Amino acid sequence: MTLSNNLHSFNDIHEILTAAVAHGGGRITLKTKGKAFYWKARANHYRALLHKTQKAQGVVVTSTPFDKFVVRLDPDEKNVILIVEQKFDYGTFEDFDGNLIDTVAFRTDTPEEQHILTALPSEGFDVTTDEELIEAANAARKSLFGDES
């Protein structure tokens, strides 16, 4: 089973990622490890589709409000997904005269820029076992990234 390339099939993912942006991250507890693995695959597929859609619309440098987050399985609870904001400590930024520059003024994550899609009905998925979920997630990864990932 492959994942849909229709953005509207990922309304549930969009809602959770939008809430994660609003709250600086979060965690989702699913019933099984397979469901968590499949949700993570769908979330990453959705994020890649957003970039592909922007490129198709002629955007040279694509960006979404979700880019600053990592979606991963909790290492201790395999049925839990963590949505964690990536934070990097690069030190200080200064101009050539030695003046410290506050980069906050250059951020592009205002609420207006964060709104990507209007909520639309989600399509259902008919996989039920962990094996089917993991197989579907692996197929989605291959369709996005080829056999190398």
What does the buried/exposed string (b/e) look like for 111-121 if buried means 16 or more CB atoms within 10 Å of the residue's CB? eeeeeeeeeee
Rounded to whole angstroms, the Cα distance separating 65 from 114 reads 5
Render the burial of 57-94: b for 16+ CB within 10 Å, e for the rest.
eeeeeeebbbebbebebeeeeebbbbbeeeeeeeeeee
| C-alpha–C-alpha distance, residues 14 and 46, integer Å | 8
Which of 133 and 14 is assigned the larger pLDDT? 14
Q: Name the least confident of 11-15, 60-64, 69-73, 122-126.
A: 122-126
Domain ranges in the chain? 7-114+129-148
pLDDT at 64: 87
Q: Which residue has the higher pLDDT, 115 or 81?
A: 81
Name the nearest CA neighbour of 79 among 35, 110, 120, 121.
Answer: 35
Residue 90 pLDDT level (bands cut at 50, 70, 90): low
Going by C-alpha positions, the residue among 149, 136, 143 that lies closest to residue 40 is: 136
9-53 pLDDT, tens digit per residue, is: 899 999 999 999 999 999 999 999 999 999 999 999 999 999 888
Strand order in the sheet with 25-29: 25-29, 80-85, 69-73
Question: pLDDT digits over 92-107, tens only?
Answer: 778 899 888 776 655 5
Q: What is the pLDDT of residue 77?
A: 93
pLDDT at site 62: 80
